[in-house]
Amino acid sequence: MQFRHEVKHEISKGDLLILRQRLRAVMKPDCHAVNGRYEIRSLYFDNLDDKALREKLDGIIIREKYRIRLYNNDPSIIHVERKFKHGGLGLKTSASLTPEQAQAIVCGNVEWMSRSTNEVLLGFYTRIRNEGLRPKVIVDYIREPFVFAPGNVRVTLDYGIRTGMNCTNFLNPDCITVPIQNSPCILEVKWDSYLPDVILDAIQLNGRHSAAFSKYAASRMYD
């Protein structure tokens, strides 16, 4: 496992239309995409002091967060993910969960995790027990993912960001989410050791700067 370069830009809907056409010309859609996109539901965890939220808002360079993620509303594809950030570098590790395991974590039934041999689950369990991590907020959005083999490049366009506000029942299809007001579209670019010029040229937009927009932080503003 290695750290990857990560850059995010806030973009407009007009920018999204332009980038979509450019990226389709030079990159391939991610194999998990359906008609070029998929839906993501994330349940973020934080402690009673909102450590992860405060570190993000304060611009702390080194930080870690945990989330459970569901793809395309399909309960057969659920992951718990650990995201570690060090400045402009990121490392993500994950473990698969059954719907029953995900629901157990949401309900605070986590002792079974202590018997796991998976380091992500064990690390998550340790943080829950030692730091009091608990479910905080659900975030829904749509992602259009593109991949490019040289440099192991992944470019995503995220939009339609919604928050579950006080609902943390991750697998409840009736959990109501609402749009985040004035939320931008997000261009995210990830790569290993180098970013090919063809991709760099495709993502160029005049006047756009790297942004620290956080879907988690934006959703927590509705608490």
pLDDT tens for 73-112 read 899 999 999 999 998 899 999 999 999 999 999 999 999 9
Render pLDDT for 113-154 as a digit per residue (tens, 0 to 9). Answer: 999 999 999 999 999 999 999 999 999 999 999 999 999 999
**Contact predicate 55/97, CB 8 Å:** no
Separation CA 134–CA 128 (nearest Å) = 7
Q: Taking residues 194-204, what's their average pLDDT?
A: 95
Q: Taking residues 184-191, what's their average pLDDT?
A: 94
In the chain, the amino acid numbered 118 is: N
Q: What is the pLDDT of residue 212?
A: 64
What are the tokens at 84?
């570690």
**What's the pLDDT band for 182 if we cut at 50, 70, 90?**
confident
Is the Cα torsion angle 115, 96, 39, 104 positive or negative in sign?
negative
**Contact predicate 114/125, CB 8 Å:** yes
Residue 208: pLDDT over 70: no
Residues 6+ apart with CB under 8 A from 101: 78, 112
0.75 exceeded by the pTM? yes
Separation CA 200–CA 23 (nearest Å) = 11
Percent share of the chain, pLDDT over 70: 96
